[in-house]
Structure 1
Amino acid sequence: MRLLQIEQLDEDRVRLLVNPFSDPAFAPRYATLSHCWGRDPFFMLTNQTKNQLTSGILTSILSQTFQDAISVAKSLEIQYIWIDSLCIIQDSDQDWEEQAPLMDEVYRHAFLCIAAAASAKSSSGCFRTREASSMVTCEVTTSWNDRPNSVYQIYNSKIWPNAFEHQPLISRAWVVQELQLSSRILYFNSNQIFWQCYDKVACEELPTHIELDQRTADQQDDSFKFSTYDYHHQPLIVDRAPPIIRKNEYMRIWCGILEQYTKCHLTFLNDKLVAISGIASLFCEPLADTYCAGLWIRRMPIELLWTRGIRDFPKPALPKPTQECYRAPSWSWASMNGPVSLSNRYLYDEDQDSVVILVEIKSCHATTKTGDVFSEVSNGIIRLSGFLSKMQLRPVPDSESVTHWSAFLNGMWLDDADDSGLPRVILDHKPPPDPHEIFCLPIVLCFDGDEWELECLILVAIDGKKDTFERFGRLTISVDEILADYRGSELGDENSDSELGDADGHVEVQSRDSAWHHFILSWSKHYTTYSSSEGNDSLDFKTIAVQGAVEISIE
């Protein structure tokens, strides 16, 4: 890890320290800079400028944002600063691979993070001209209950979330990790300076602070959700909970951070996993789990059920990314461009009994470029056994000319949307040209509070690779819907009422065992599984349930 030393001379100069931490006694107080690069060229560390930087340079040749950050650090008597483009050799892939895994240490151990929140490029600087009168709070003197002639401040209760809504820095993916790992942050926003640490947030308008327990629920919901202020408080409470609750809560926190992260933008798409690696490494111990291409192996069956961000709907699916910008296997959220939703509550609870896992993970492997599980991924594969069935998709244009998709599975067309209007078929990408190569893989049978549902992956066979598929979307199936179809086909069977409901076809599924039983019964009639074996293109579902499901790979 390198640092820039701010030399205390008449002229502002900085000097690059190549390996300062080789001395065990070296324990400096240093700042970091979180900023947007922009597209304009600026002075940075390269193999050509390395000697120049190690000898020392005038800060005047640096970009304005760097000059301002150094000025802030110097005014706070901080002698060292870390700036990414001046501490990592920008024309060396080897240096990047060595330095990137140190990011979590860089920000975790920094005394202060200086955030150039209002700057879209490095030449814009940290400082802004402001109207001082806009930061004066309104004070009212009045009597209230037992407090006669008291002075009260009137201010916008959403000053914190509103302050970051349109700041360029907040849309940058790397900033999620930088701010999440920092213990103290000084934000230079467009209208005023904000302060944030584990204990408080404050600003020029409200210089005292807004304590965590004084914020309204509305403020907490709308605030800067992936910030240290929200997420560093929660683990303190979580640590006192029983082990299973702690793991569930940490998983909830991880999902919240990840959803915010996927809303942000990356200049280099292959940084998708690297830019969140520092946070991921911190969750291994509290989750007691192993990380693989953005997912946690022990929770893998349910973790596979991510979707494109719910707020993206009813936008159509995007074209599939090209192989040139490969970031992760198709089963990982990191393979997607844009927001991802991990809001399924079954991700968080290991101790509830409203879920039946329908697949068995045999193995999970991802090849990384450095051998570190948190680094850039070059390929990945899951081997699992499950109940695979061919399916078809057809477009269902709605009233706003936005295409939903209906699925044909086990002899019936399923509803394209649930009661709330959300689509049951959520495609990651536009569908492939050959509809006969689409398959359904049930992952879990779960109770959502109102009814039992099947959560499934939509898979597409990979040409030339036996028993190998890639993920193409997610499908939610109402158990009531498939039971009603089965019930309708079984009228006249003297045993059907006792097995699947009353004479009107109504079914009341009250337990996990009951749901599993009905799942087996209802799917056995139409179930046709995928099989690569010659002369065996169909297999009875009950036989699979007894003998074991087909084994496939997903890349």
Structure 2
Amino acid sequence: MLKQPMPESHTWRAMDAVRSLFQASIPSSGFLWAKSNPHSQCKGCGEICELLRWGEVQRRRDSAYHGSSPPRMVHRSYLDLDLCAGVSGCDTCRVLRRAFLLEQITGQDAERLEHPNNQFPIHAVLSLGSSGDSRLLLAIESPRDVLFSATIHLSNEPRPLPHSLTKGAPSLRSDLSELRRVVDDCHRNHECSSRYRWSRRNPTWLLKILPDDFVQLVEGPPTPVDYVVLSYSWGNPTTMPVDEWARIKGAGTKTIKGRPVPERLNPFRVRELPETMQDAIMVSASLGFFYIWIDNVCIPKGTNWDTEASLMHEVYGNSAFTLVASSSGKATDHLLHDRLAWTHRSKACQLRELWWLHNAQMPLDRVRFESPVSRRAWTLQEERLSPRVVYWAGQRWYWSCPECQVAEMGEPERISPTADDTTSRSCPQRFLELCRTGDEHQLHEEWLDIVEAYTRRDLVAPKDRFLAIAGLAVRFYNAKAANGGTAVTEDYLAGLWKDNFARHLAWSVVSALDSRQNLQHIAPSWSWASLPLQVHTQTKAPFKPSEHFKFIAVEHTGPAHASSKEDVTRTETGDPLTDYVNRGRAVEERGRGVKVIQVQGRLRRFIPENAQGVSWDAIEWRRGGRLSFDFGAFSGQPIYARNKADGRITSKDAHGGEVVGQLDYVVPSEDKPRDRFTPYVQEGREKEIVCLELGELAMLLLVPNRKWGQPESYRRVGVAIGYANRKGFFYGCETKTVRLA
């Protein structure tokens, strides 16, 4: 029977691997610092040399010159580059090839580089910075879009190169010994455990890793054990075959009379679980950890999901570390992939005797915010509640703890674990650090950052809108409670916090949304949780609270959470630590059911009664990149205008400045004027908008809530922030108590 021929690119890669093995067997003390072989260059190297020559000319003319060269094509395609790096042994092409691969976060991203549909010319641009820094910017461009990009740093001096992955030939698989050293160093020499471990309790259920590729679901032992937590993306059920989604869901542990089924309580084979879980189990065992917590397996079906969700701060806070599956797009993807960036040994590369080429390390933030796992709502608290995190990307892993960040084959970056330092660096553990230090102002700002990150993410079940951040809310409240003090004024209100309520109310959408996807059946209009999923919000505009605004009371909660303040204390047992934990859980559970509140503040119309409506195009003024307003055609007239595309709305008195607001929703094409309870402002009803002062330059935009049929009852439709042209907008206005629903 005839066998299928090996693809040409794979053939050349195999030949190159054999040659690398041969070269590795020859002693060479200066191997890592060897210059690029001038004979191992190609036409693409010549094109890059032309770019460098252009840069030298600019620097001679002006040593502070900054700008970019015209682009030059260096290769006809990625496969052409790959072939040149492997067969010709071109050192420059090896650096270029590695640059593209290191930019790919998932294993599938690296494979996409080789796909026949992605074979387009590679262009390079030389970018010169005013501070003397220089970079080569690479791009693979189709006729319609940039498919892949990469960056190579240039310097006049060589830099240390990463050591080989193994002592022998280059490996396409991970060498976990370096990661094991990093993990052990943290546990032995850092204060992460003593400072950030929440308690000595294990999760209710853990997966025990047994020999011979078996695992077993066991109850959490009574004494603390070291366990790993897996943070991963289940995937989007709408974009995968039905049977594949069924396999992911089917990995969940079933129960009989409240107990896991015998098939899970007895040892079972690892291969019965989806691929991401299989590989996570292998990594954990290879690092010397024999317990792992995976949500789908360790929260048996029929378990009280609300209770388990509020305990997530313990599950993640007490773990040895959290393993984030950044290289997987869905649970059926492998976590471990051939790391093609390291096919060839690292070697210093120099061109024109002046320029050394260096591969850049992808910043940890890019891995955090661009990997598929970052699009899943549940994984936000998994990251923010974990003192130690391993991000497993397609080409390398990254470690982050409050004291150190390390990229595989990179130098450790030591971090001073003080609150002041957390404000100037991006660190997944910033929330935990602020909870520990008790900086109230920074803690509230961090919550607003959490809201921005959370609203961008997706949920398979929108009903879990509050559950997916319940652990963060419990941890926030317990930080404010300060060891169970009796004078705690903080309260959780549908995703917002009472002690800084005006600030938390002042969130806005970047652009008005389609109202048909709203979640006002889950959360009140004044809460960001009522917005559709996957929405960009803004929460951190400059804010100074108004002395006239005051939170009064919670007036109504949903049927499932209709408890009163007294109910929160019924969970107290007399043990200070237990009561401290239970109080936070009770406050969070009650808070997610809040529907109607009473607040006090200055109230007035947003649009004057006698204002004339005009088109947005009649007042918007554009000059180049500037955007402003021109009211010259309406001098001495009160007017208002509404941008139907993005939801901006402006109101201007006859002789005063304008106020520009942002509505939450646009008017849908099938607007029904008789529907009086829509979340958007219907066309022709703009004059119904009233505004409630939150801060010196911040207001809520409200409309009467006829659904309640009570006086001074409103629902939110937008916000206005930063109206510097009308600082006296609320002067002389009456202070009223109003209901917000």
What's the CA shift for 1:316?
A: 3.5
- 1:382 is matched by which residue type in structure 2? I
**Aligned partners of 1:340 and 1:403: how far apart in 2?**
14
Q: What CA RMSD, in Å, does the superposition of the two structures yield over aligned residues?
A: 3.6
Name the SS of the counterpart of 2:503 in structure 1: helix
**Aligned partners of 1:477 and 1:395: how far apart in 2?**
23
**Aligned partners of 1:85 and 1:330: how far apart in 2?**
32
Is 1:46 aligned to 2:254, yes or no? Answer: yes
Q: Summarize the Cα distance change of 1:357–1:459 in structure 2 as closer, same or farther, 3 Å threshold.
A: farther
Q: Summarize the Cα distance change of 1:385–1:79 in structure 2 as closer, same or farther, 3 Å threshold.
A: same
Residue 551 of structure 1: aligned partner: 737
What's the CA shift for 1:99?
A: 1.7
Residue 513 of structure 2: aligned partner: 317
Name the SS of the counterpart of 1:278 in structure 2: helix
List per-residue Cα deviations over 1:244-276 (Å, max 9, x = no partner).
xx2112222222222222222222222222211
- 2:716 is matched by which residue type in structure 1? R
List per-residue Cα deviations over 1:299-321 (Å, max 9, x = no partner).
2123211111xxx3xx4433154
Is 1:55 aligned to 2:266, yes or no? Answer: yes
Is the CA contact 1:167–1:190 (under 8 Å) kept in the aligned structure 2?
no
Name the SS of the counterpart of 1:357 in structure 2: coil
- 1:261 is matched by which residue type in structure 2? Y
Is the CA contact 2:376–2:459 (under 8 Å) kept in the aligned structure 1?
yes
- 1:202 is matched by which residue type in structure 2? V
**Aligned partners of 2:455 and 2:206: how far apart in 1?**
31
What's the CA shift for 1:106?
A: 0.6
Is 1:327 aligned to 2:525, yes or no? Answer: no
Name the SS of the counterpart of 2:246 in structure 1: coil
Which of 433, 444, 458 is 1:265 aligned to? Answer: 458
Name the SS of the counterpart of 1:388 in structure 2: strand
Residue 250 of structure 1: aligned partner: 443
Residue 504 of structure 1: aligned partner: none
List per-residue Cα deviations over 1:103-134 (Å, max 9, x = no partner).
11111101121111121111102101112437
Is the CA contact 1:306–1:342 (under 8 Å) kept in the aligned structure 2?
yes
Residue 493 of structure 1: aligned partner: none
Is 1:67 aligned to 2:278, yes or no? Answer: yes
**Aligned partners of 1:414 and 1:462: how far apart in 2?**
31
What's the CA shift for 1:554?
A: 0.9
Residue 616 of structure 2: aligned partner: 396
Residue 86 of structure 1: aligned partner: 297
Residue 201 of structure 1: aligned partner: 405
What's the CA shift for 1:45?
A: 1.2
**Aligned partners of 2:379 and 2:339: how far apart in 1?**
25
Q: Summarize the Cα distance change of 1:470–1:227 in structure 2 as closer, same or farther, 3 Å threshold.
A: same
Q: Summarize the Cα distance change of 1:34–1:426 in structure 2 as closer, same or farther, 3 Å threshold.
A: same
Is the CA contact 1:293–1:366 (under 8 Å) kept in the aligned structure 2?
no
**Aligned partners of 1:356 and 1:136: how far apart in 2?**
62
Q: Summarize the Cα distance change of 1:159–1:41 in structure 2 as closer, same or farther, 3 Å threshold.
A: same
**Aligned partners of 2:427 and 2:536: how far apart in 1?**
14
What's the CA shift for 1:384?
A: 2.1
Residue 357 of structure 1: aligned partner: 547
Is the CA contact 1:31–1:81 (under 8 Å) kept in the aligned structure 2?
yes
Residue 443 of structure 1: aligned partner: 693
Using the size of structure 1 for normalisation, the TM-score is 0.70
Is the CA contact 2:448–2:504 (under 8 Å) kept in the aligned structure 1?
no
Q: Summarize the Cα distance change of 1:471–1:110 in structure 2 as closer, same or farther, 3 Å threshold.
A: same
Q: What does 1:90-239 correspond to in 2, within 5 Å?
A: 90=301, 92=302, 95-133=304-342, 156=360, 158-206=362-410, 208-212=411-415, 225=426, 227-228=428-429, 230-232=430-432, 238=437
**Aligned partners of 1:444 and 1:184: how far apart in 2?**
38
Using the size of structure 2 for normalisation, the TM-score is 0.53
Is the CA contact 1:13–1:57 (under 8 Å) kept in the aligned structure 2?
yes
What's the CA shift for 1:210?
A: 2.2
- 1:329 is matched by which residue type in structure 2? P
What's the CA shift for 1:189?
A: 0.7
Which of 677, 681, 693 is 1:432 aligned to? Answer: 681
List per-residue Cα deviations over 1:323-350 (Å, max 9, x = no partner).
6x7332111121123122111333xxxx
**Aligned partners of 2:508 and 2:496: how far apart in 1?**
14
**Aligned partners of 2:433 and 2:722: how far apart in 1?**
38
Residue 501 of structure 2: aligned partner: 300
What's the CA shift for 1:157?
A: 5.9
**Aligned partners of 1:63 and 1:481: how far apart in 2?**
58
Q: Summarize the Cα distance change of 1:403–1:117 in structure 2 as closer, same or farther, 3 Å threshold.
A: closer
Residue 9 of structure 2: aligned partner: none
Is the CA contact 1:359–1:387 (under 8 Å) kept in the aligned structure 2?
yes
**Aligned partners of 2:518 and 2:423: how far apart in 1?**
39
Name the SS of the counterpart of 1:471 in structure 2: strand
What's the CA shift for 1:32?
A: 0.8
Is the CA contact 2:209–2:292 (under 8 Å) kept in the aligned structure 1?
no
Name the SS of the counterpart of 2:691 in structure 1: strand
Name the SS of the counterpart of 1:345 in structure 2: coil
Q: What does 1:381-530 correspond to in 2, within 5 Å?
A: 381-392=596-607, 396-397=616-617, 402-403=645-646, 405-408=648-651, 415=658, 424-430=660-666, 431-433=680-682, 435=685, 438-446=688-696, 453-467=697-711, 468-476=713-721, 478=723, 480-481=725-726, 519-521=730-732
Is the CA contact 1:406–1:413 (under 8 Å) kept in the aligned structure 2?
no
**Aligned partners of 1:272 and 1:412: how far apart in 2?**
45
Name the SS of the counterpart of 1:14 in structure 2: strand
Residue 107 of structure 2: aligned partner: none
**Aligned partners of 1:164 and 1:182: how far apart in 2?**
14
| Structure 2 unaligned spans of 5+ | 1-202, 238-244, 351-355, 482-489, 564-585, 608-612, 623-642, 667-679
- 1:318 is matched by which residue type in structure 2? D
Q: What does 1:359-374 correspond to in 2, within 5 Å?
A: 359-364=549-554, 366-367=557-558, 369=560, 372-374=586-588
Is 1:20 aligned to 2:220, yes or no? Answer: yes
Worse-matched range after superposition: 43-52 or 370-379? 370-379
Is the CA contact 1:6–1:81 (under 8 Å) kept in the aligned structure 2?
yes
Name the SS of the counterpart of 1:520 in structure 2: coil
List per-residue Cα deviations over 1:73-116 (Å, max 9, x = no partner).
111221211110001134x3x53123222211111101121111
Worse-matched range after superposition: 295-304 or 78-87? 295-304
**Aligned partners of 1:199 and 1:328: how far apart in 2?**
38
What's the CA shift for 1:404?
A: 5.0
Name the SS of the counterpart of 2:304 in structure 1: helix
Name the SS of the counterpart of 2:311 in structure 1: helix
What's the CA shift for 1:232?
A: 4.5
Is the CA contact 1:368–1:377 (under 8 Å) kept in the aligned structure 2?
no
List per-residue Cα deviations over 1:360-417 (Å, max 9, x = no partner).
322025448466332483451111233333445876245898455434477789636x
**Aligned partners of 1:62 and 1:195: how far apart in 2?**
26
Q: Summarize the Cα distance change of 1:6–1:153 in structure 2 as closer, same or farther, 3 Å threshold.
A: farther
Name the SS of the counterpart of 2:370 in structure 1: coil
- 2:597 is matched by which residue type in structure 1? I
Is the CA contact 2:276–2:334 (under 8 Å) kept in the aligned structure 1?
yes
Is the CA contact 2:435–2:475 (under 8 Å) kept in the aligned structure 1?
no
What's the CA shift for 1:135?
A: 9.0
Worse-matched range after superposition: 464-473 or 101-110? 464-473
Worse-matched range after superposition: 184-193 or 28-37? 184-193
| Structure 1 unaligned spans of 5+ | 142-151, 240-245, 347-353, 417-423, 447-452, 484-517, 522-540
- 2:276 is matched by which residue type in structure 1? T
Which of 218, 227, 235 is 1:30 aligned to? Answer: 227
Q: Summarize the Cα distance change of 1:405–1:159 in structure 2 as closer, same or farther, 3 Å threshold.
A: closer
